[in-house]
Chains A and B, each alone.
Chain A
């Protein structure tokens, strides 16, 4: 039993499985302590190599990830503005629409709206994104809004982690999604069957009250915040000078 205390004293000594009892395979030789310089060099080299590999993979993957995000946003804009002929991106700077983001702001995170035009160059409405916390995590919504008529054109959930089977009906339940079409602002969520037939009413989802209320809230809050900006803007006048929107970037409000 001589080996036993020796093993306990030296935390670096690792008894091999089955190597403990006397008569078994011999203990591994005691390791001399490694110099700190070597420890640091090894980890630093490994870290640098790992960083290099990650940078290479990122360089390959990032354009694809951004392209996918842009594609999702473009499709969503088409959907919520009912297939506009052309789309322009406008930045919201100091309460007014501007072709370029404020100085210092980058194009991805800057607040912006997407203006859709029909074949005659007439504005259809704005696609607006917004996000607020839902039942589980932030819900990111894009919706089309016609400021002249004060109506929501359509709504689409871009990102949500709502409960599968219940909260995810905010994008899986076609009746709920269709309820936003041509609804008048400000929206009002009502229980199914409890509505009075008013044009502001949107039927909420049974069992997903919080998720549906959040979606309605996002749209109302965003319209409330942008209404003065959008109604003062004259998109038809500036449309001629606008360069048109190419490559829609990621919606600005999503921090993720």
Chain B
């Protein structure tokens, strides 16, 4: 088992292994409900709640859940949290609940959540699982907000419904329509990939002199 420090568990999911931008998980809500910042935020919070709650329970009961039915048990736990989130949103913020529609219920099948249970929470102590869930949930929320901001600013000329550009701005409507989700995700992944490429390139360049000085050392390719 790879050993990690608690800080690594927390930080990893936020940026370096961001569920949406790096692992490409949870794309269905990321494409479907990021047309406004408010929707992205509500979806991010709901997913965060489900992920943290499920990780806590799965980690607590990992010894009790028989190996053969673990996936069913995880789904049961996740579905319970999703139903709670669905009801609470409907009761507290009915307008946003109406906008998100079926996508709240579809959090159940978000691979990101089930993936964290199977890969992490079912094998690690409760504390570490919490850190991992908080990190991954935050990373998901960051990705959702990036997409939501980009799409609402271009597609509606506003942030959280507050108009930014005045009457002279003609909204780029396609960005709040479904194709805009794909375009936005594409652009963000492009920039993200280019940035990572550049970073690894610069690391290689910096290491090069050492590589020359000690040829026996394994090249960090």
Asked if A164 and B35 sit within 8 Å, CB to CB, the answer is yes
Give Cα distance in the complex from A128 to B2, angstroms: 65
Contact A54 B83, CB 8 Å, known A61-B91, A164-B177, A165-B173: yes
Query: A50 near B90 (CB under 8 angstroms)?
Result: no
Of B14-22, B74-82, B129-137, B213-221, the stretch lying at the interface with chain A is B74-82
Q: Out of A25, A31, A62, name the residue touching B1 (CB < 8 Å).
A: A25
B91 adjacent to A165 (CB under 8 Å)? no
A52-69: CB near B (< 8 Å → 1, else 0) gives: 011001101110110010
B91:A46 contact, CB within 8 angstroms: no
Neighbouring B residues of A53 by C-beta, 8 Å = 80, 84
What is the bound-complex CA distance between A65 and B80, given in angstroms?
Answer: 19
11 contacting pairs across A/B (C-beta < 8 A)? A34-B67, A42-B66, A42-B73, A50-B79, A54-B87, A57-B84, A57-B87, A60-B91, A61-B88, A161-B101, A165-B155
Give, as a whole number of angstroms, the nearest-CB distance from B42 to chain A: 16
Contact status A18-B1, CB under 8 Å: yes
Q: Which of B126-155 contact A (CB under 8 A)?
A: 155
How many residue pairs link A and B with beta carbons under 8 A? The number is: 76
Q: Does B211 contact A (CB under 8 A)?
A: no
A23 within 8 Å of B by Cβ?
Answer: no
- How many Å lie between the Cα of A62 and that of B77 in the bound state? 22
Number of B interface residues in the complex (CB < 8 A) = 30
Residue of B nearest to A36 (CB): B68
* Given A46-B77, A163-B177, A34 and B68 contact (CB-CB distance below 8 Å): yes
Q: Give B122 Cβ to nearest chain A Cβ, in Å.
A: 10
Instruction: Report the Cα distance A6→B77, complex, angstroms.
Output: 33
Residue positions of B touching A, CB distance < 8 A: 1-2, 35, 64-69, 72-73, 76-77, 79-80, 83-84, 87-88, 90-92, 94, 98, 101, 155, 171, 173, 176-177
Give the Cβ gap from B66 to chain A, nearest Cβ, in Å: 4
B76 touches A46 (CB 8 A): yes
- Besides the contacts A39-B68, A159-B98, what 6 more A-B pairs have beta carbons closer than 8 Å? A12-B67, A38-B66, A42-B73, A65-B87, A68-B91, A164-B173
- B68 pairs with A54, CB closer than 8 A: no
Q: Which of B1, B76, B91 contacts A43 (CB 8 A)?
A: B76
The answer on a CB contact under 8 Å between B64 and A42 is: yes
A19 interface contact, C-beta 8 A: yes
How distant is A178 from chain B, measured CB to nearest CB, in Å?
20
B87–A50 touching, CB < 8 Å? no
Binding site for B on A (CB under 8 A): 12, 16-19, 25, 31, 33-34, 38-39, 42-43, 46-47, 50, 53-54, 57-58, 60-62, 64-65, 68, 159, 161, 163-166
Least CB separation from A59: chain B residue: B87
Inter-chain contacts of B80 with A (CB < 8 A): 50, 53-54
The reply to whether A16 and B69 contact each other, CB–CB distance below 8 Å, is: no
**How far is B88's CA from A53's CA once the two chains are assembled, in angstroms?**
13
Closest to B172 in A: A165
